[in-house]
Copies of this chain bind each other. A is one copy, B any other.
């Protein structure tokens, strides 16, 4: 079975074509209906999370899951929904660390085309070295102590990079507000099925200003972009965080 079929049949098409409604219909009229009625006509119009924030959540999920086919569509939609080019740039940079360099590189490959088409030049992007936000010394001391204790005996290199690159540099870059950076991180964790880090980052996101109602809508947005199971696995962890936070 496997062998006989491996002929030289080839399918040529653009790497990151946008899938049109006509394309979807030619494979599944039902999927076109859900795309039009449920996603476009309902999900993106729900209250408690703005279209801008839904774009950030969705883009984070796509990059975290290396979904290159859909990234161009959602980079364009994000720009239309008011996410600034500088913020998209910073989201990709942030996820280089939280999803890995290759995910960021795949996002670069398609985003550079969109930026070029929309005449978004380097003057609209955050500088390589930016004026950093002030560090919350107390919170950072608590984090550093925990990581030094848990990670230090096993991987001192990870401790060093986590401190220097993430918490004394990346998280303090001003082109993406801490609340939005947290939104990206939590979305990427849920989309990637990485529940272990949700408590720390969901608490941090709420410390950074994300509300419970918004977090609840992040959970409503993500089943469509990361699949139902990843969200269902995140729910008990989110529930536990909600219950333990002071009102």
Binding site for B on A (CB under 8 A): 1-21, 23-36, 38-40, 44-46, 51, 61-62, 64-70, 72-73, 76-77, 80-81, 89-90, 92-93, 95-116, 122, 125-130, 150-151, 153-158, 161-162, 165-166, 173, 189, 192-194, 196-197, 216-217, 219-220, 223-233, 235-236, 238-239, 242
Which residue on chain B has the smallest CB distance to residue A25?
Answer: B122
With A102-B69, A122-B25, A216-B155 as known contacts, state yes or no: A113 contacts B4, CB within 8 Å. no
Which of B40, B154, B228 contacts A4, CB < 8 Å? B40
With A30-B173, A31-B104, A216-B157 as known contacts, state yes or no: A15 contacts B11, CB within 8 Å. yes
Among A24, A44, A90, A111, which residue has the most Cβ atoms of chain B within 10 A? A24
> In the complex, are the beta carbons of A3 and B40 less than 8 A apart?
yes
> In the complex, are the beta carbons of A108 and B44 less than 8 A apart?
no
> In the complex, are the beta carbons of A228 and B44 less than 8 A apart?
no
With A97-B223, A127-B30, A192-B229 as known contacts, state yes or no: A17 contacts B21, CB within 8 Å. no
Chain B residues with Cβ below 8 Å from A125 are 27-29
With A62-B102, A68-B69, A162-B228 as known contacts, state yes or no: A1 contacts B44, CB within 8 Å. yes
Which residue on chain B has the smallest CB distance to residue A29?
Answer: B128
> In the complex, are the beta carbons of B232 and A196 less than 8 A apart?
yes
**A36 vs B32: C-alpha distance when bound (angstroms):** 38
**A1 vs B221: C-alpha distance when bound (angstroms):** 14
Shortest beta-carbon distance from A138 to chain B in Å:
22
> In the complex, are the beta carbons of A69 and B109 less than 8 A apart?
yes
